[in-house]
Amino acid sequence: MSDTGAPAWRGRSTSPEQTRAIGRAIGAAAAAGDLVALSGELGAGKTQLVRGIAEGAGVEPAAVASPTFVLVHEYEGLPGKPVVVHIDAYRLHGTGDLETIGWTAPGGGELREGAIVVVEWADRIGANIGRDALTVILTHAGEESRDVVIQCVPSWASRWDELRRLFDLAISTGAGAKPKLQSRPCPICKEPVAADAPAFPFCSKRCRTIDLGKWATGDYRISRPIEEADLDEE
Ligand SMILES: [Zn+2]
């Protein structure tokens, strides 16, 4: 987990909801082939972060469980979106175990084809994590507070400025004496969205349905027609 001057974002989450919102920003910006390395002590909020990433990538929140007995969870996202592969490295021992789950090369190899891969307890696999993972480190900083460090790598660089803005926003609400909620425009419909909104950074599930493959570059397109069923869910 050594770092050589890569750009980093540092902030303090004061609630599980804020940690989850940070995850949603990552998930919304993630594309097939991306790797996220997550480290932090027990109870530091890794599960919240993984849930947020999955939600941001379009997976229904109810589908995301804590992988207590399973090393690899694969979650289906919305049509046209990559699957989210969640690996719990806590019980992996050595490269033999990595090969067993399909981790065939440093950085994950073919596991990443068509998938957003999130490795929890990434520090346990050492150099096998490779060199191009977005790295998230959570540290206890009090009862509910967590220090969050997120290190960028070149493969995320084009999305980094926008991600930093979303991280700032994610931790800017809900703390202490309820400051006035900040908001940002929904990337799709431009309606203001508070950072603690359930679909942050989107205003709604309907807007999240719209394909985010080009989200980071602002080149939006619709992956399938909006159907009446989408609208009914509001
Ligand atoms: Zn919207």
Q: What's the confidence (pLDDT) of residue 212?
A: 52
Token couple for 132? 């191009």
- Residue pLDDT, tens place only, 13-49: 999 999 999 999 999 899 999 999 999 988 899 989 9
pTM for the structure as a whole = 0.76
Domains, the chain, in order of start with CATH, read 8-177 (3.40.50.300)
Cα 206 to averaged position of ligand 1 atoms, centre (Å): 7
Distance CA 69, CA 62 (A): 18
Task: Report pLDDT for 8.
Answer: 96
- 146 forms beta bridges with 13, 140
Write out the E strands in 62-185.
72-75, 83-88, 115-120, 134-140, 146-151, 183-185
Give me the percent of the chain exceeding a pLDDT of 90: 40
Cis peptide leading into 187, omega within 30 of 0?
no
Token pair belonging to 49:
């972060």
- 8-12, 55-59, 141-145, 178-182: least confident range: 178-182
**Lowest mean per-residue pLDDT among 39-43, 105-109, 197-201:** 197-201
CA of 196 relative to ligand 1 center, distance in Å:
15
Residue 199 Cα to ligand 1 middle (Å): 9
Is residue 215 scored above 50 in pLDDT?
A: no
Residues 31, 183, 7, CA angle at the centre, nearest 5°?
50
Q: Taking 70 as the threshold, does the pLDDT of residue 83 lie above it?
A: yes
The better pLDDT of the pair 182, 40 is held by: 40
The pLDDT assigned to 187 comes to: 79
Is the pLDDT at 176 greater than 50? The verdict is no
Radius of gyration of the chain (CA): 17
Closest CA to 195 of 229, 170, 218, 164: 170
Separation of 135 CA from ligand 1 center, angstroms?
29
CA of 74 to the centre of ligand 1 (A): 27
Pair type for strands 183-185 and 134-140: unpaired
132 CA distance to ligand 1 centroid (A)? 31
Task: Give me the mean pLDDT over the 148-172 stretch.
Answer: 93
Helix or strand or coil: residue 159? helix
For ligand 1, the distance from its centroid to the CA atom of residue 193, given in whole angstroms, is 8
Please report which confidence band the pLDDT of residue 194 belongs to, taking 50, 70 and 90 as the band edges. confident
Mean pLDDT throughout 173-178?
46
Higher-scoring residue by pLDDT: 96, 2: 96
Mean pLDDT of 1-17: 81
Distance 207 CA to ligand 1 centre (A): 5
Q: Which residues contact 30 (CB under 8 A, 6 or more apart)?
A: 36, 53, 56, 57, 82, 116
Q: How far, in Å, from the CA of 58 to the mean position of ligand 1? A: 14
**Cα of 41 to ligand 1 centre, how many Å?**
35
User: Would the pLDDT of 180 be above 70?
Assistant: no
Helices (H), the chain: 16-29, 46-56, 94-100, 157-170, 205-209, 228-232
Cα(152) to centroid(ligand 1), Å: 27
Query: What is the CA(209)–ligand 1 centre distance, in A?
Result: 10
8 Å CB contact between 33 and 4: no
